[in-house]
């Protein structure tokens, strides 16, 4: 409970992230090798797996741990690092062209034809822009060590229609857009991407966009 203040500063309103810890625990449980054991054996396997991992990590951090073992610890850390730690930015392509996916600072982006969810981004359309807009990545182009995204803009809410989420913004970072896409596209650098967003079409012509940024 004493960490709630820090969590609110990091992630915003509780409604935006309260499921994350439980989803993370479920992910850990799904990765544990159970050898298809059930009927009471599963609990023991999970407990032993957790204890073995915790004991090993504690032993590797001991001050009297032999130097040769510490060398293996570096290999151990690289082998079992979390995905966000192990993967930074995708390497350049052997041949210039388009990509289906691109990793930038540990975040995965995809073109819409490959993975729609990973293509939905809030971004700054220019270096002078101060307000991010919503869009969907259509192409990821690499030329040498440089990579750029071609993003199609999400159409704004039509005139005369009200945004029911406006009164709660930015405490609840959701905004209403048109459910349609514009003809306008922007070419931006990966550093101009603010975050992914979640989109839900709640009527024929309106969609709610939820900012998934942790900042």
| 12 to 3, 18, 172, 174: CA distances (angstroms) | 13, 10, 8, 12
Q: Where does the pLDDT of residue 10 fall: very low under 50, low under 70, confident under 90, or very high at 90 and above? A: low
Whether the predicted model's global pTM rises above the 0.75 cut: no
pLDDT, position 92: 78
Which pair of structure tokens corresponds to residue 117?
A: 């969810």
pLDDT higher than 70, residue 37: no
Percent helix / strand / coil, the chain, rounded to 5 = 35, 30, 40
Average model confidence (pLDDT) across the chain:
82
- Residues 91 and 98: their CA atoms lie apart, in Å, by 13
Give all domains of the chain, ordered by start, each with its CATH number: 4-86 (no CATH), 97-211 (2.30.30)
| pLDDT 10s digits, 84-108 | 444 577 777 777 889 889 989 888 8
Can you point out the beta strands (E) in 2-160? 97-99, 101-104, 107-110, 120-123, 133-143, 146-154
- Residues 54 and 74: their CA atoms lie apart, in Å, by 17
Q: Tell me which residue of 180, 185, 119 sits closest to 150, measured CA to CA.
A: 185
At residue 2, the 3 state secondary structure works out as coil
For the residues of 154-187, what is the DSSP string, one character each? EPPPPTT---TTGGGTTTS-EEEEESSEEEEEEE
Q: Where does the pLDDT of residue 3 fall: very low under 50, low under 70, confident under 90, or very high at 90 and above? A: low
pLDDT, position 141: 93
| pLDDT 10s digits, 137-151 | 999 999 888 999 999
């Amino acid at each position: 409970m004493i960490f709630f203040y820090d969590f609110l500063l990091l992630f915003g309103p509780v409604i935006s992230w309260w499921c994350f810890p439980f989803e993370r625990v479920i992910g850990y449980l799904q990765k544990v090798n159970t050898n298809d054991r059930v009927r009471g054996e599963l609990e023991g396997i999970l407990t032993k797996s957790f204890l073995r991992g915790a004991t090993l990590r504690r032993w590797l951090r001991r001050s009297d741990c032999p130097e040769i073992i510490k060398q293996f610890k570096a290999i151990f850390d690289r082998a079992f690092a979390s995905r966000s730690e192990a993967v930074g930015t995708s390497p350049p392509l052997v041949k210039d062209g388009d990509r289906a996916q691109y990793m930038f600072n540990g975040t995965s982006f995809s073109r819409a034809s490959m993975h729609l969810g990973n293509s939905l981004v809030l971004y700054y359309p220019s270096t002078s822009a101060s307000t991010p807009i919503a869009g969907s990545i259509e192409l990821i182009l690499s030329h040498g060590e440089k990579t750029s995204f071609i993003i199609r803009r999400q159409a704004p809410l039509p005139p005369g229609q009200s945004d029911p989420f406006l009164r709660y913004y930015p405490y609840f970072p959701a905004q209403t857009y048109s459910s349609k896409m514009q003809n306008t596209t922007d070419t931006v650098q990966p550093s101009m991407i603010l975050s992914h967003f979640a989109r839900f079409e709640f009527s024929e012509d309106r969609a709610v966009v939820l900012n998934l940024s942790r900042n």
